[in-house]
Chains A and B, each alone.
Chain A
């Protein structure tokens, strides 16, 4: 325990600490139920004026969550109790702030809300940097037993788990982003572009493209039922299996082969996957594709007419021994073929009426990259996306 006169020099790498805080991505966006439920419980459990989850930035203390009759305001770091808590790995207990020289001059002690008692347990970010605290405050001085300290530390570990989960999700998101194509393929006479934006950190959508040995471009776009981490695990599996199927020849065969491999996994996890698998043959100007319940494709001709190419079979994971057959679309100069997940419809009114608006964007764009950029901007503008948004465009140059 620190004595009142001890001077604690913060022996921390402050820039690294701030990066750890930033990486947690919890500073902005207001209160969150996952923290609120813990402060509610802490306040009730200890019967204090307030319980809070605080974060300490370079200059201020932010209350991420607080509960109790005493309202705590964010304020400068120099006069924040939690700034002292994060200097040490142990719980800081101040039984009476008016009798402690470190704190007696704090505006929150001399004036409103007149804090007398404080107990805080530090919270850490990546690298073990202490970024904030779970703390209790009261308007009356009080003692804090060892058993109470243990209980506070226990609750803090719960907050910690939530923070770690965020960090884990962020790493998962980085891994998932790395599974998307890094560069645009070169296909003579064609422009190809794509984008994939998960609704959360990670999602169940993906697209993929690579050249086949016979000089065709293989393209896949898939939407795993559900969202978040569970869907992302299946997404990675489906992508790997699709990549390992035959790259030459009929996309229908490739899809049938992949579906047979995946069926048991999808059955056990109770997941369906809609998927569109295509091969672009630039010499013949043919786009051959097999559709597994995806259906969301749009062909916009150079003259502006638009239609949905015929759609084929069932999604993956419905029936065992299902087969898929290929369909062929012939691309003329200036034609654009588009495949997308249903998240794109949600950028409009969510129904199939949106197809006409999507076609209008295609007509309005000069090339495939421009087109994908337009959808990206639109998806970003929608603050809270409920579904992953994925689009792949193939355009034959005029």
Chain B
């Protein structure tokens, strides 16, 4: 359900939730991000290309990941948002603290 891809660099973790990111998988996402940070991978990108739905618990898990990454001296970025996820982000004004990036590569470059 949630893949961890560590091929983009020694300090990079790309986290890929698939399907619906809801209360059911929110804890898994938090755990995967925590694991990556503990591993010294403080540049975290959540690749949402295959996540077609996210509820407030999913969003909460991502914000939790963002806080943890910043505490570890790194950052968390989000990429390839699907329409529903984009709507949730905009409705809550969270696009101000989590700027959506077009792709994982763009997120890593900071575009």
Interface of A toward B, CB cutoff 8 Å:
223, 225-227, 267, 270-272, 274, 293-296, 311-315, 317-319, 342, 350-352, 387
Contacts and interface: CB of A to CB of B under 8 A. Distances in A.
27 contacts: A223-B56, A225-B59, A226-B23, A226-B60, A227-B23, A227-B57, A270-B30, A270-B60, A270-B64, A272-B56, A272-B92, A274-B92, A293-B94, A294-B91, A294-B92, A295-B92, A296-B91, A312-B93, A313-B93, A314-B97, A318-B63, A318-B94, A342-B91, A350-B84, A352-B87, A352-B91, A387-B55
Nearest to A293: B92
A225 B59 CA distance: 9
Interface string B79-95: 00001100100111110
Contacts of A342: 56, 91
A293 B93 contact: yes
Nearest to B84: A351
B91 A225 contact: no
Nearest to A291: B93
Q: Is the interface of A mostly helix, strand, loop or mixed?
A: loop
Interface string B57-88: 10110011001000000000000000110010
Contacts of B55: 387
B109 interface: no
Which 6 A/B pairs are nearest by Cβ-Cβ distance?
A293-B92, A295-B91, A225-B56, A225-B60, A272-B60, A293-B93
Given A225-B56, A272-B59, A314 B96 contact: yes
B92 A315 contact: yes
Contacts of A311: 91, 93
A313 to B, nearest CB: 6
Nearest to A346: B55
A226 B23 CA distance: 7
A347 to B, nearest CB: 15
Most buried by A among B55, B57, B67, B92: B92
Nearest to A387: B55
Contacts of A270: 30, 60, 64
A271 B23 CA distance: 12
B94 A271 contact: no
Nearest to A272: B60
Contacts of B23: 226-227
B72 to A, nearest CB: 16
Which residue among B23, B57, B84, B93 has the maximum number of chain A CB atoms within 10 Å of its CB?
B93
Interface in B24-38: 30
Most buried by A among B56, B60, B84, B96: B56
Given A225-B57, A270-B60, A272-B59, A315 B91 contact: no
